[in-house]
Amino acid sequence: MVNQQSIDLFNFIKLSCGVLATIGLYSVLYKETKFFRFFEHIFLGLAAGYAMVALWKETLYPQWWLKMVGQLDDKTHLPATPGYWVYIVLLPIGLLGYFVFSKKHNWLSRVPIGIILGLWAGQQVQIWWQTYGPQLYASMQPVFPTTWSSFVKPVTTGAGYTPEQIALINSNIYPSQALNNLIFVVTLLAAFTYFIYSFELKTKFLAGFNRMGRWMLMIGFGAIFGSTVMARFALVIDRMFYIWIEWVTSLQHLSGR
């Protein structure tokens, strides 16, 4: 029987390995040393080894091997699902990919690549429309207000409106919404003009609009970069939590405090 102290000890060893690896990998911020390289190689080796086992256990075995050889019922040990031996054909097709290492027969490696590319290309028309169709619709936004009764959309909760009045409020475009939509549409068009390379933008208006598009794109990239930086901070904070809270807590558990 495993007692609590053994569990605490195992947990402490596990977390200590993690702490060592964290310090090892972050040590590159000081200087690239053998200490860093050691943990980098451990990390890469573990990831590669794990992926290979997972590939067999969770992909090839259930999705290819079991389909090919069939399955037995757990209790009666009689055939439960039949095997489809035609799946064996996939093996040589997949192995053709390794001919990429042969100078004489490397053209054979193009067979599986061609099949994958063909399957991928066939999906693209539908995928393009599913991806961008709704965005095209959503970009066509009303830029003229339908009412001037209020600049912003009124708050309807607890204001004593009837359902008909609420429906009318929700169907109207208020000036603040129209202004928002206008900013969106102008930004969209300005960003588009940045990508006009087919002719020279000679008029002042088009050149200015093009410059505005460049600015809008740069603001967008800045926001994306800011979001990325925040993501990296979150990862550092988590590592600090791992070291100073999780690991220290496991140490306290081990020492019985």
Instruction: Please report, as ranges, the residues that interact with other proteins according to CB under 8 A.
Output: 29-30, 47, 50-51, 54-55, 58-59, 62-63, 66-67, 74-75, 119-120, 123, 127, 130-131, 134-135, 137-138, 153, 155-157, 166, 220, 223-224, 227-231, 233-241, 244-245
**Whose Cβ is closer to other proteins: residue 211's or residue 239's?**
239
Q: For residues 135 and 203, which CB has a smaller minimum distance to other proteins in the complex?
A: 135
Angle at 80 between CA 79 and CA 83, to 5 degrees: 70
Q: Measured from the CB of residue 200, what is the shortest distance to other proteins in angstroms? A: 30
134: phi then psi, degrees, rounded to nearest 5:
-60, -30
CA dihedral of residues 97, 98, 103, 109 (deg, nearest 10): -10
- Residues composing the chain: 257
CB of 105 to other proteins, least distance (A): 26
Instruction: Quote the least distance from Cβ 235 to other proteins, whole Å.
Output: 4
Report the nearest approach of other proteins to the CB of residue 15 (Å).
13
Pick the closer one to other proteins by CB: 168 or 237. Answer: 237
Considering the complex, state which of residue 38 and residue 132 has its C-beta at the smaller distance from other proteins. Answer: 132
In the complex, minimum distance from the CB of residue 205 to other proteins, in angstroms, rounded to a whole number: 27
DSSP secondary structure, 6-34, as one string: HHHHHHHHHHHHHHHHHHHHHGGGT---H
DSSP state for residue 245 in the 8-state scheme: I
Neighbours of 66 (CB within 10 A): 14
Are 105 and 99 a contacting pair, CB within 8 Å? yes
Residue closer to other proteins (CB basis): 47 or 91: 47
Cβ(87)–Cβ(64) below 8 Å: yes
CB nearer to other proteins: give 183 or 236. 236
Rounded to the nearest whole angstrom, what is the least distance from the CB of residue 33 to other proteins in the complex? Answer: 13
Kindly provide the residue ranges of all beta strands, DSSP E only, lying in the chain, ordered along the sequence.
Answer: 71-72, 79-81
- On whether the CB atoms of residues 181 and 142 are closer than 8 A, the answer is yes
